[in-house]
Structure 1
Amino acid sequence: MRSFILTIYFFITYAAVQAQQISASETGALIPAPVSAKYAGNSYVIQKGTAFYNTTELQPAADLLAMYIQHAGIQTTGVSSQASGKDGIRFRIDSVAVPQPEGYRLSINQHQIDITAHDAAGAYHAVQTLRQSWRKSPGKLSVPGGVIEDYPRFHYRGMHLDVSRHFFAVGYIKKFIDSLALYKFNNFHWHLTDDQGWRIEIKKYPALQTIAAWRNETLIGHKKELPHRFDGKRYGGYYTQAEIKEVVAYAAARGINVIPEIEMPGHALAALAAYPQLGCTGGPYQAATFWGVFDDVFCAGKDSVFTFLEGVLDEVMELFPSPYIHIGGDECPKTRWNACPACKARMAQEKLPDVDALQSYFIRRINAYVQRKGRHIIGWDEILEGGLAPGATVMSWRGTEGAESAAAQKHHVIMTPEDELYFDHYQSLYPEEQLAAGGYTPLQEVYAYEPPLKHFIQGIQGQVWSEYLSTEQRADYMIYPRMLALAEVAWSPQSIRDYVSFRRRLKKRSTAVQYEEVTYRIEECRPGQLRVSLRGGGDIHYTTDGTTPSVKSRKYTGPILITRNAELKAVVIQQGKPAGRMFRQSFQMHQAVGAAIKLKQAPNSRYAENAGILVNGVSGSDRYNDRQWLGFSGRDLEAVIDLGSVRSIQQVGANILNYHWQRMWEPAVLQFHTSPDGVHYTLAATQQAFPANGINAIRLRVPPLRARYVKVTALHKGVIPTGEYGAGGNGLLMVDELYVD
């Protein structure tokens, strides 16, 4: 039996999540799930006059709790420095009773709340658990009685936010930090510079504010849409040093460390626009108005570049007390370096064999400077190229290979995999879904992520790249609730994680927005027929003729048999009304649907790997990570379809995805051969033109013939040509539904 799954999600809005921070309406709705929670006895009531008792070390956590209570409209007596008291809320440190770093124990009865923490971080986390637990009523907050024992699974639990592609105000950054604290993250990775804008004030280099912080215009729509269109409006902004100090202090008061990222040696166009002498060619340059990777980077052969970056880092390290400074290191094309006399001279002087070693030299030199200042660098996994700098921490975003390499060299690793933890990906396949970078990372996939348990894996982080997040509302939609799923993966023991429980708790965190889903699975795919099952959070009503389902439509009771072309639409019905958005999926039946199929070469593991999806009657969308496309990197496609018996054939076809912006290239040639016996094949049709940017649905009429076997061959394009995105690398051949009729 072949299985194919698609999930459509209906998401909690950020506003709803925020509203529930002070008024979770039921117990047992904690996210992330604690290690142990036993509810018993009477609730403790926080009201006017409630007393606080704490030790000096935990004063900041006690102050934070008092502030949250006051924001709920309740005035306490203030925080006492006495370590004990009868009735009230007591904070204390006891690393014997709570041996795990960042751990805490909450003991709650009708007389007091006792917070015992391993350290200050544990006390902060206990405060957030209380914040999620209490129930608000006029003049009081009720906290359920019981004992909660809790501590994190991973030391590093982070969220990243790109403010270069789109700029977010200080107020939004603070709201983001509030959410990080609520869900027990402890690191905020602030991506402050990139090709499209420089967002941090550096007093030594004022042109970074007057020039680098601004771009002339911004791309309209998606970069895959041709021709490209721009809005013609100057765009930009930056954070003053006073604002950065304010944000860092705000985060520290909530137990959050802020890690700044200053991109180098690539993603530097905005900086080069301000100081063109720092590039290999000398410019002129301008901040990028398009999304992508650009050839102009910091010159590795000029000492003035390192003088500039050291000056920048001096001011950055004054503003950020973080032990880590992120220096990027990713996606640095070597085109300019290969042609640059200064870079060639540097390579000769340092006896560097190639430009990869030159990048390693660049990173090592910056690393040495940062280490002399008592800090450590973090970089994306490209910093492995040419040799890893001593003491560097690697963020592994291109799968697990970088993590394994860094861990083998005994370097710390933070897992940031693109496929599972990039929140700029689509989270639904709903056709009208908000514009996203690409890919498909639904909530359940985030929740199911399991990082490799290597000794040097420090933790995990979610990434929010902002190319298509032009407003705070758009950013919120992409972040929530996937961030909450990540919070549970990062904090809770794997043994207690349960997606059904998580969804139930997620719904309790908001009563303002319905959270329902419809999923489908092809349970059986046989020649000429499909059996499709549906699942959802309630009664499902559906149609197969393309009409909109309602409570009067057929109720789902078991697998749906599909034997002809169908447009399946379904909706969850609750209280007599549709809950959430309508699910829809088209099925196109043809002679190859459900047929046996064999591939000569295995596809790229990043995309679907099951050959059966090529003959399942479902066409992939232009969101190429929808599990319906097979990808072949530097390899040809050769697939043989066995129709089961000799049949009449009049038409053959295939879907080809052509997105040069994503290194996805059309084949050099697509051919169809037929055979009655699987041994002797005859050419039936050939296609060499694939003009569409996006999906090329190739359908070719053939002279009437009879055959049992159809061989489909697509020859890959080869190396991506100079001047194109990804030049010098292998083009990716993307193929979907193979059609025979």
Structure 2
Amino acid sequence: MPKTKLFFIFSLMYFFTSNYSFSQSISIIPKPVSVQLTQEKFTLNSSTSILQTSASFSKNVQFLQEALHSLTPFSFPILENTPSNFIQISIDTTKVSQKEGYQLVISKNSIQLTGHDEVGVFYGIQSLIQIVYQSKNQGFNLSGCRIDDYPRFTYRGLHLDVGRNFFPLSFLKKYIDLLAFYKINTFHWHLTDDQGWRIEIKKYPRLQSVAAFRDETIIGHKKDSPHRFDGKKYGGFYGQDEVKELVKYASEKYVTIIPEIEMPGHAQAALSAYPHLGCVSGSYKTATFWGVFDDVFCAGNDSTFTFLQDVLDEVIPLFPSKYIHIGGDECPKTRWKVCPKCQKRIKDEHLADEHELQSYFIQRMEKYLNSKNRELIGWDEILEGGLSPKATVMSWRSEAGGIAAAKQKHEVIMTPESHLYLDYYQSLHADEPTAAASFTPLSKVYSYEPFSSELNQDDEQYIKGVQANIWTEYTPQPEQVEYMVFPRALALSEIAWSPKTHKNYDDFLSRLRQHRNILQQKKVNFFDRFEEITYHFSMEKSGKSIVHFSTTLPNAKIHYTVNGKAPTSNDKVYQNQLIINKSGILKAQIFVGKKAYGKVFEQAFEYHKAIAKNVILKHQPKANYNPTTPFALTNGLTGNARYNNSQWVGFSGEDVEATIDLGNIQSISTVGLNLLKYHWQRMWEPNVLIFSISEDGNSYKEVYRTSNFPANGINQIRAKITPVKARFIKVQAENKGIIPAGEYGAGGKAWLLIDEIYVD
């Protein structure tokens, strides 16, 4: 064989081996653009020093020295002459052409870190630190490599709401440290809301003495009824000196802090301090529970704009960020519709309606911010009534707002609730701590792609980045915030930084397993069951339920029982699928050898005569309550009280009319279904529920009627009737329609949620 061909084969073998070794021995998050391993090793030891070639690197050099010293027993002296075992930092825009980019070369005698700029050097240091963390058990032997890296998006954001719950400066610094460690460069600081005003404004001292505090706080979830309260005054605010301290701290980690001052909605705390800024005369109180409130800033009152401009005059000097976030979301128009001043504003400004009044409000504030050389950013509701000329849209309700804004040539930050709201449950286990709603596991976060297929290449340039959000209604303690945010924030970092072509969930998990130890050493209270059982249910026309289990945990087996008992390592091992064809409780548990991982999975099955029978609906379900799987209402599975397990079928303002064909005439003695009732979530019981039966599908006879749904939560209807022959079952439920005055969400459409039509 010719030597050149032999050399080529060995080169290929080395290339594939070294890249495989990278996934095993170097686990950087977010994943770099390019990694090439060599067979060399660099050993950190007592003689390792840092070579400082320029005084301009002193901040980063000192940061590196302190970080390495905290991880090793070595001191890492800073030298100006070339030593024999050293780490060198430099900037070279030719070698590294991309902004924020870096090149890291680890060889036998040196570590060479080159950045495009200082921030690129900083991110290279973070990658090096991650490598050092992983080398601690290998005598600080670092694998030889060359890493070339730079970010996909310029904006990489993580949010924190301090309006609902207040967190100490020490935690905010830790939060910023974690952002920087994973190359997230923006901290969106949500400072004001209905439940509290958290920033000192010296011109308006009542914002500190009144608006920063609430009389008490709701206990449990907002959906619970009746509401219970703890009776304890709660609050706090950040003084301007503290704000300056945090902004300076963040800037040293190359993290930009964007403040959010909510307007025109979410203003109840501010109105409690200065009630003349509202539409209704009288007093206001800082909100004591969570939700969207009708009391907002009066858009017809010039003093509102004077107040907000004065506030911004004190906020702007504290934050050097390009953007100032003004919220703009969830602003009910209820008060504006009946406010004489607001109606006069609409008339005087020749506005069409209250939506254009909101646009007027936002545009007026944008002009003021522009006059201060700042740019406005707001949630996607700022699109209502016409978008401000230079405004940047943060698209949260879906991608639609971001897509629309990008097509209008506006900059966009994608932060869809469906994938990037970290206050949502990350596990469906019933004992998970209370969270807002929905279900957003790590895998779903990681799957998000910011470039929508609806955008063309020209439009994509306006998508500046992505952000994940954590609202804190149900996370009053720092450790609870950490539990909800991590490790999902690591998935965010990879969405924001790594090339789209590099994204691979299995590979991400292999690196994340290495970062478990890092997060533990950093004392982060992270969610550590991200490889728990995932499952999928399907149903055959025969009525058999097919259950598919999986786990990403290496060397794991899933053991299960169908008798309701907790599985042990001696119980049956799941293979390819399970078939369920009768009522019972299925439980499953992951084991690695004899050791259990995570919590026990549990699912009840309730079999009856309507199982797998076709259901014809007069109206189609809406939004997240529209299961795409057949037999959603006749599969023997029950929707949970958190309404996030994809079993509930929902109708917005519309009645339910469902007809089931049993296939043949049978004797029927029980009919029923499950209804969800949470007025504080706009989920209402029907005015009346009626079951009718028929033999031929034309002539129906009523067999059961009720208007009694006493439970706050799941109302399980199982009505015994006189045995009767029938083939067709018709279910009719009259929607509440419009939510009554005085109730939460008054004037909006009521949701009617049903699940599992039961016939036996």
**Normalization by structure 1: what TM-score?**
0.92
Cα pair 2:135 2:142 within 8 Å, conserved:
no
CA distance in structure 1 between the partners assigned to 2:499 and 2:612 by the alignment: 41
In the TM superposition, what is the alpha-carbon distance from 1:613 to its structure 2 partner?
1.8
CA distance in structure 2 between the partners assigned to 1:346 and 1:47 by the alignment: 71
CA distance in structure 2 between the partners assigned to 1:200 and 1:241 by the alignment: 7
Cα pair 1:630 1:735 within 8 Å, conserved:
yes
Instruction: Determine the structure 2 residue equivalent to 1:108.
Output: 106
Instruction: Determine the structure 1 residue equivalent to 2:69.
Output: 70
Instruction: Determine the structure 1 residue equivalent to 2:19.
Output: none
Query: Which of 689, 693, 705 matches 1:670?
Result: 689
In the TM superposition, what is the alpha-carbon distance from 1:194 to its structure 2 partner?
0.7
Cα pair 2:157 2:188 within 8 Å, conserved:
yes
**Higher RCO (Cα < 8 Å, 6 or more apart):** 1
Map 1:565-576 to 2 at 5 A: 565-576=583-594
The residue type paired with residue 27 of structure 2 is: A
Q: Deviations over 1:592-631 (max 9, x none)?
A: 2222333343322423432422111110111122211122
Instruction: Determine the structure 1 residue equivalent to 2:12.
Output: none
Instruction: Determine the structure 1 residue equivalent to 2:547.
Output: 532
CA distance in structure 2 between the partners assigned to 1:421 and 1:139 by the alignment: 36
Question: Which has the higher mean CA deviation after the structures are superposed, 436-445 or 100-109?
Answer: 100-109
Instruction: Determine the structure 2 residue equivalent to 1:9.
Output: none
Cα pair 1:541 1:553 within 8 Å, conserved:
yes
CA distance in structure 1 between the partners assigned to 2:756 and 2:93 by the alignment: 59
Map 1:162-201 to 2 at 5 A: 162-201=161-200
Cα pair 1:74 1:139 within 8 Å, conserved:
no
Q: Deviations over 1:370-408 (max 9, x none)?
A: 111111011111111111111111111111221222222
Cα pair 1:130 1:143 within 8 Å, conserved:
no
Query: Which of 598, 611, 616 matches 2:616?
Result: 598
SS at match of 1:41: strand
Distance 1:150-1:601 versus aligned 2 partners, 3 A rule: farther
The residue type paired with residue 195 of structure 2 is: Q
SS at match of 1:65: helix
In the TM superposition, what is the alpha-carbon distance from 1:496 to its structure 2 partner?
2.1
CA distance in structure 1 between the partners assigned to 2:184 and 2:24 by the alignment: 23
In the TM superposition, what is the alpha-carbon distance from 1:347 to its structure 2 partner?
2.1
- How many residue pairs get matched? 716
Question: Which has the higher mean CA deviation after the structures are superposed, 319-328 or 516-525?
Answer: 516-525
Cα pair 1:26 1:508 within 8 Å, conserved:
no
CA distance in structure 1 between the partners assigned to 2:703 and 2:612 by the alignment: 22
Q: Deviations over 1:80-109 (max 9, x none)?
A: 5x9x88752223333343333322221111
SS at match of 2:270: helix
In the TM superposition, what is the alpha-carbon distance from 1:63 to its structure 2 partner?
3.2
Cα pair 1:214 1:237 within 8 Å, conserved:
yes
Instruction: Determine the structure 2 residue equivalent to 1:364.
Output: 363
SS at match of 2:216: coil
In the TM superposition, what is the alpha-carbon distance from 1:60 to its structure 2 partner?
3.5
1:639 aligned onto 2:637: no
Map 1:113-262 to 2 at 5 A: 113-134=111-132, 135-137=134-136, 141-262=140-261
Instruction: Determine the structure 1 residue equivalent to 2:292.
Output: 293
Distance 1:706-1:55 versus aligned 2 partners, 3 A rule: farther
Cα pair 1:74 1:140 within 8 Å, conserved:
no
Instruction: Determine the structure 2 residue equivalent to 1:13.
Output: none
The residue type paired with residue 564 of structure 1 is: K
Cα pair 1:571 1:582 within 8 Å, conserved:
yes
Question: Which has the higher mean CA deviation after the structures are superposed, 508-517 or 686-695?
Answer: 508-517
CA distance in structure 2 between the partners assigned to 1:500 and 1:560 by the alignment: 25
Map 1:323-342 to 2 at 5 A: 323-342=322-341
In the TM superposition, what is the alpha-carbon distance from 1:340 to its structure 2 partner?
2.0
Q: Deviations over 1:551-605 (max 9, x none)?
A: 2323323422222211111111123121221111111111222223333433224
CA distance in structure 2 between the partners assigned to 1:285 and 1:635 by the alignment: 35
SS at match of 1:292: coil
Cα pair 1:47 1:139 within 8 Å, conserved:
no
Question: Which has the higher mean CA deviation after the structures are superposed, 159-168 or 609-618?
Answer: 609-618
CA distance in structure 2 between the partners assigned to 1:175 and 1:306 by the alignment: 36
1:355 aligned onto 2:374: no
Question: Which has the higher mean CA deviation after the structures are superposed, 571-580 or 322-331?
Answer: 571-580
CA distance in structure 2 between the partners assigned to 1:138 and 1:705 by the alignment: 73
CA distance in structure 1 between the partners assigned to 2:719 and 2:450 by the alignment: 45
In the TM superposition, what is the alpha-carbon distance from 1:733 to its structure 2 partner?
2.0
Q: Deviations over 1:157-200 (max 9, x none)?
A: 11100011111100100111111111111100000111111111
The residue type paired with residue 548 of structure 1 is: A
Gapped regions of structure 1 (runs ≥ 5): 1-23
Cα pair 2:627 2:647 within 8 Å, conserved:
no
The residue type paired with residue 114 of structure 1 is: Q
CA distance in structure 1 between the partners assigned to 2:467 and 2:643 by the alignment: 23
SS at match of 1:304: helix
CA distance in structure 2 between the partners assigned to 1:418 and 1:394 by the alignment: 14
Cα pair 2:569 2:593 within 8 Å, conserved:
no
Instruction: Determine the structure 2 residue equivalent to 1:280.
Output: 279
Pairwise CA RMSD: 2.3
Cα pair 2:224 2:678 within 8 Å, conserved:
no
Question: Which has the higher mean CA deviation after the structures are superposed, 435-444 or 524-533?
Answer: 524-533
SS at match of 2:246: helix
Instruction: Determine the structure 1 residue equivalent to 2:571.
Output: 553
Cα pair 1:528 1:591 within 8 Å, conserved:
no
In the TM superposition, what is the alpha-carbon distance from 1:445 to its structure 2 partner?
1.2
Cα pair 2:157 2:184 within 8 Å, conserved:
yes
SS at match of 2:673: strand
Query: Which of 34, 39, 61 matches 1:36?
Result: 34
CA distance in structure 2 between the partners assigned to 1:589 and 1:194 by the alignment: 47
Instruction: Determine the structure 2 residue equivalent to 1:660.
Output: 679
Query: Which of 498, 520, 535 matches 2:535?
Result: 520
CA distance in structure 2 between the partners assigned to 1:378 and 1:269 by the alignment: 21
**Normalization by structure 2: what TM-score?**
0.90
Distance 1:603-1:61 versus aligned 2 partners, 3 A rule: farther
CA distance in structure 1 between the partners assigned to 2:699 and 2:498 by the alignment: 58
Instruction: Determine the structure 2 residue equivalent to 1:5.
Output: none
CA distance in structure 1 between the partners assigned to 2:616 and 2:26 by the alignment: 49
Cα pair 2:647 2:755 within 8 Å, conserved:
yes
Instruction: Determine the structure 1 residue equivalent to 2:502.
Output: 496
SS at match of 1:144: strand
Instruction: Determine the structure 2 residue equivalent to 1:470.
Output: 476
Map 1:438-457 to 2 at 5 A: 438-453=437-452, 454=455, 455=460, 456-457=462-463
SS at match of 1:632: strand
In the TM superposition, what is the alpha-carbon distance from 1:345 to its structure 2 partner?
2.4
Cα pair 2:539 2:631 within 8 Å, conserved:
no
Question: Which has the higher mean CA deviation after the structures are superposed, 163-172 or 568-577?
Answer: 568-577
Query: Which of 700, 715, 722 matches 1:696?
Result: 715
Instruction: Determine the structure 1 residue equivalent to 2:757.
Output: 738
Cα pair 1:525 1:593 within 8 Å, conserved:
no
Question: Which has the higher mean CA deviation after the structures are superposed, 313-322 or 661-670?
Answer: 661-670
The residue type paired with residue 529 of structure 1 is: K
Cα pair 1:440 1:623 within 8 Å, conserved:
no
In the TM superposition, what is the alpha-carbon distance from 1:641 to its structure 2 partner?
2.6
Question: Which has the higher mean CA deviation after the structures are superposed, 259-268 or 330-339?
Answer: 330-339
In the TM superposition, what is the alpha-carbon distance from 1:276 to its structure 2 partner?
1.7
SS at match of 2:290: coil
- Identity fraction in percent: 49
Instruction: Determine the structure 2 residue equivalent to 1:53.
Output: 52
CA distance in structure 1 between the partners assigned to 2:289 and 2:560 by the alignment: 42
Question: Which has the higher mean CA deviation after the structures are superposed, 57-66 or 116-125?
Answer: 57-66
Map 1:714-733 to 2 at 5 A: 714-733=733-752
Cα pair 1:47 1:75 within 8 Å, conserved:
no
In the TM superposition, what is the alpha-carbon distance from 1:523 to its structure 2 partner?
4.3
Distance 1:399-1:502 versus aligned 2 partners, 3 A rule: same
Distance 1:714-1:102 versus aligned 2 partners, 3 A rule: farther
Distance 1:205-1:595 versus aligned 2 partners, 3 A rule: same
Cα pair 1:639 1:711 within 8 Å, conserved:
yes
The residue type paired with residue 295 of structure 2 is: D
Map 1:309-324 to 2 at 5 A: 309-324=308-323
